[in-house]
């Protein structure tokens, strides 16, 4: 599985847990093929109820905007077709995976591919970074951005840039670009075992 052909995605949501009734209100995605951006996807979606003032302020997505948006079910059907079985990447992927699975389940669809987490990977590649929030890593690596965060497409654009930077740095460190499966393994390694794992990859 190639690590540079995949889809980077991000959800904005009404809260933290679909198990508590929270829904997606925006999705953004960037499709990479051999490390180059070839397509983008961005939609607002109407969850069927009003979002809180905190969410309006945090995301900049108002209830007025959502009233004009198509329902989640319509958007998720389009998105399922967009991603197909491409591997997926997200920053704090467990959060986005929960909402992806929950929203697809509502329309009888299922994502069959694999996920990797840019947050977990960055913690292992850049342990010296001040922290591993997306905005901090973007500044740390000098990734071009327009200063907008917490909107889905803007976040996926910079996450894609971070992923590309990590692929470059790993290639410099290992002498080759690890596969997607190897990166998933790296994300699960204790931080103290990272150097040995990368050295082992470099010897293979």
Catalytic residue ranges: 150
User: How far are the Cα atoms of 148, 161, 165 from residue 153, in angstroms, in the given order?
Assistant: 10, 12, 18
CB atoms under 10 Å from CB of 17, counted, come to: 12
Q: What is the DSSP string of the chain?
A: --SSSEEEEEEEESSS-GGGT--EEEEEEEEEETTEEEEEEEEE-B-SSPPPHHHHHHH---HHHHHTSPBHHHHHHHHHHHHTT--EEETTHHHHHHHHHHHHHHTT----S-EEEHHHHHHHH-TTSS---HHHHHHHHT----S--SSHHHHHHHHHHHHHHHHHHHHHHHSSPPPHHHHHHHHHS-GGGHHHHHHHHHH-
Q: Are 59 and 150 in contact (CB under 8 A)?
A: yes
């Amino acid at each position: 599985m190639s690590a540079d052909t995949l889809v980077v995605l991000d959800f904005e949501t009404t809260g933290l847990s679909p198990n508590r009734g929270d829904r997606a209100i925006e999705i953004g995605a960037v499709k990479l093929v051999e490390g180059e951006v070839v397509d983008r996807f961005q939609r607002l979606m109407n969850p069927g109820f009003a979002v809180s003032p905190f969410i309006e302020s945090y995301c900049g997505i108002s209830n007025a905007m959502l009233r004009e948006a198509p329902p989640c079910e319509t958007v998720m059907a389009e998105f399922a077709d967009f991603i197909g079985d491409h591997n997926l990447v997200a920053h704090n992927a467990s959060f986005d995976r929960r909402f992806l699975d929950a929203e697809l389940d509502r329309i009888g669809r299922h994502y069959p591919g694999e996920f990797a987490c840019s947050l977990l990977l960055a913690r292992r590649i850049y342990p010296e970074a001040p922290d591993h929030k997306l905005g901090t890593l973007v500044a740390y690596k000098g990734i071009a951005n327009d200063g907008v965060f917490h909107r889905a497409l803007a976040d996926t654009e910079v996450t894609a840039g971070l992923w590309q930077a990590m692929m470059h740095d790993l290639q410099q460190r290992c002498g080759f670009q690890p596969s997607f499966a190897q990166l998933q393994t790296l994300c699960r390694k204790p931080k103290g075992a990272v150097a040995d794992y990368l050295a082992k990859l470099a010897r293979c």
